[in-house]
Amino acid sequence: MSKKKTGDELHEEDVSVEENPAFLESEEGTVEDETPQPAEEERDVEKELADALIEAAALRDKMLRAAAENENFKKRIERERSASLKYAGEQIFREMLPAVDNLERAIAHQGETVADSAEKNLRALVEGVELTLKSLITTLEKFQVKPIESVGEKFDPKHHEALTMEASDTVPETHVVNQFEKGYYYKDRLLRAAKVTVSSGKKETGSGE
């Protein structure tokens, strides 16, 4: 039959267990094993920071390259636009050169045929001028430059410039009698207003008539 331990004996065992160094060491070791290692966490943060800096540097490089390419593109477009504006009339002038050639040939031909009759020379000169004028008109029409029909039309300050007024029995009042200089439109825009004479109405007759 086993002997039961008294209360004092149980108390002594509890005290001995608490004061036992081996027990304390095992308890402390267990606590230290469960604590996170700060050194490993610091190493991970440093690596992430280094990766982030590398990525930021790469993005900055891409941004600078894109900005440089955009600036070069803008400069190229500006150069092309300036050249286009500078030589905008190149095609028009090229089309007008044949008219200049015709005038030069007409003048040269007039000097070579000075011994011929005056009437023949005059006729040849007029024909040359007519051909040149026709060539110029064709060139203007090609570039959508059209003359303004003014004579007999009602005066319109939008495309007419009145130089004077005169009475007319055939042209109604405020209508164009004749023009000193023809007006032109370029496409749908006024290129030059026509300089005209405007009718002031019928001529007044004398009281004795």
pLDDT digits (tens, 9 = 90+) for 72-126: 999 999 888 888 777 777 778 788 888 877 777 777 766 555 555 777 777 777 8
The answer to whether residues 92 and 100 touch, using CB atoms and an 8 Å cutoff, is no
Report the b/e string of 25-35 with b at 16+ CB within 10 A: eeeeeeeeeee
With a cut of 70, say whether residue 69 has pLDDT above it.
yes
Alpha helices in the chain (DSSP H): 7-19, 21-34, 38-86, 90-112, 118-142
Q: Half-sphere exposure of 71 toward its Cβ, with a 13 Å CA cutoff? A: 6
Q: What pTM was computed for the model? A: 0.53
DSSP structure string for 144-172: TEEEPP-TTSBP-TTTEEEEEEE--SSS-
Cα separation, 37 vs 44, in Å, equals 12
Q: What is the pLDDT of residues 189-199, one digit of tens each?
A: 998 999 999 99
Which tokens belong to 106?
A: 């007409």
